[in-house]
Chain A
Amino acid sequence: MSGRTFAEKALARAAGVPGARAGDVLDVMPDLVFSHDNSAAIRRIFEQIGAPGIAHPDRVAITLDHASPAPTTRHAQNHAEIRDWVQAQGIAHFFDVGRGICHQVIGEEALILPGETILGADSHTTHHGWLGAFGAGVGRTEMAALWATGELWLRVPEAIRITLNGAPSPGVTAKDISLRILGDLGADGGLYRSVEFAGDTLAALPLDERAVIPNMMAEMGAKNAYLPPDQIVFDYLEPRRTRHYTPLYPDPDAAYAAEYHLDVSHLEPQVALPHRPDNAVPLSEVAGQPIQQAFLGTCTNGRLSDLRAAAEVLRGRRVRCRFLVIPASAAVMLAAVREGIIDTLLDAGAVIGTPGCGPCMGNHMGIPAPGEVTISCANRNFRGRMGTPDAPVYLASAYVVAASALNGQISDPREVLA
């Protein structure tokens, strides 16, 4: 009998059963569930169910981030309904306009811990694997059912193991690694699966960059993604956590449906061409492509290390196209102000926006005109994603986005940093 994968261990724990195997269907009780601006619609579904109240309001988080501050009266009405609902139900964790993006804020507040299970009404809930949690996205009706009952059925996924070795060269980041994995394995390369990472690259990755990898695995169809938590994670959590936790690790002889190895030491920066995140090519193949807008931000790459990377590229220089900078959270923004990063970016011609999702999914704050080309730090570049069908979006790291803003065309940051 083979050992167990992370997913098998985590979901057995969340279901309160002694052991589970891939293919088992379990009733899982997550440690935290969360939603965002979609909470008003979830409330209406909850009311259709007719449950007396939220079963575990202490395990519920809501963040207003997707259209924030509200761009229209209808969005504002949604937000108002959510605030009323939070009050009425005694929801424990509420983060209003400007606090930041749900995934980032949950990490900063240490609301989910290694070995725990988190379900979110957001497809990028795979993000929470950065600290060794089981994170999976669900739909609105499922979130309403979770509010009502505190549990949801999940099928224990088969797992694949991705082993990363080597240290990336300067100017190459977790984003480039993620885009290369997507390019190699494809948009359905992790469909229904737990994508479990291993290898010596991870320990050398700064904490700030780690979340990029599980976040981007949503673009491969993954159910969840997992990085093994280490002392750096435990040290980060120690002053923030409010409960005990037990980290979980896959057994060395766990059964994986597939294995993939990547040596990152010779990887060059990667860019995903329109209109798919797995359309990844080495930067050199697309350098020189003119752009009209560059966007630094999102749950993928709106953290302090990303803003710092952009400042490193742009210090003492001026951008040649619109450069939108939207920190992933208020805490990120404050740290960037204190470090002088925001000064540097403003001097370079950046436009700074309210922490939140910004124009990532085309709600507001930077929708491109037809025909305009954007390079973005986000995780998705589907046709129309940023609000305009005929406005191509390229995906890349903060370094590449900043270097491209500098030149008004897709550019190699290593030429600027050299």
Chain B
Amino acid sequence: MKLEGKVWKYGDNIDTDVIIPARYLNTTDPVTLAAHCMEDADQSFAQNVQPGDIMVGGRNFGCGSSREHAPISIKGAGVSCIVAESFARIFFRNAVNIGLPILESPDAARDAQPGDTLSVDLVGGTITNQRTGQTYQASPYPPVVLGIINAGGLVPYTREILGIEITG
């Protein structure tokens, strides 16, 4: 699966209170959450993000609260993929579980500038910066994470484990 999008670049330690403040946690509707995504850090994001754009972060992206609303709001805003130098562990798992592609690549994240266009090959785990032409290899997923991604998220993956078939 190949993605291509414009870069929204953020720094180190972007926390989940900034991604989606607790005052909006009383809903799980992706559209409502997307309208407030990043609003305490960058009010222009929710207004100007385009479907397919790529969010780029520094170290420890998504630190703080375990709220799943954080990746839901980013996915709801239309972001196709997050690339960062490193991710907070619960955020990483939450993103995988809700089906938001997430790639760890310190060099790709550091080199990307706001407005750059990145091409991402999720199968090969490669990231290409179209401005510079440079291609980066992201950290590989453990097999279990690949299994969840291939199933389409943790809900369908758990159905497979339990042998539950959804009909109708």
Contact = CB atoms under 8 A, between A and B. Distances in A.
A148 interface: yes
Top-8 shortest CB links A-B = A188-B60, A139-B94, A382-B17, A123-B66, A384-B40, A141-B97, A361-B22, A145-B158
B154 interface: yes
A273 to B, nearest CB: 14
Contacts of B90: 123, 137-139
9 contacts: A51-B158, A121-B66, A123-B65, A142-B154, A148-B162, A188-B12, A188-B86, A380-B65, A385-B22
Interface residues of A, number: 45
* B23, B63, B98 pick with most chain A CB within 10 angstroms: B63
Contacts of B88: 188, 191, 221
Interface in B131-168: 142-144, 153-155, 157-159, 161-162, 164, 166
Given A137-B66, A140-B68, A191-B89, A49 B155 contact: yes
Given A148-B162, A188-B60, A48 B21 contact: no
B48 interface: no
Contacts of A75: 26
Contacts of B94: 139-142
Interface string A283-317: 00000000000000000000000000000000000
Interface in B85-120: 86, 88-90, 93-94, 97-98
B13 A187 contact: yes
Contacts of B155: 45, 48-49, 141, 144-145
A9 interface: no
B26 A74 contact: yes
B47 interface: no
B63 A384 contact: no
A383 B14 CA distance: 10
A38 B97 CA distance: 17
B162 A51 contact: yes
Which interface class (under 10, 10 to 19, 20 to 34, 35 or more) fits B? 35 or more
Contacts, number: 119
B153 A141 contact: yes
A221 B60 contact: yes
B68 A383 contact: no
A261 to B, nearest CB: 24
Interface of A: 25, 41, 44-45, 48-51, 72, 74-75, 78, 121-123, 137-142, 144-145, 148-149, 153, 155, 187-188, 191-192, 219, 221, 223, 276, 361-363, 380, 382-385, 387, 389
A123 B12 CA distance: 19
A51 B17 contact: no
B23 A139 contact: no
B28 interface: yes
B132 to A, nearest CB: 26
B31 interface: no
B157 to A, nearest CB: 8
A78 B25 CA distance: 12
Contacts of A155: 142
Contacts of B98: 141
B140 to A, nearest CB: 13
Contacts of B15: 382
B41 A139 contact: no
B89 A139 contact: no
Nearest to A44: B28
A21 to B, nearest CB: 14
B64 interface: yes
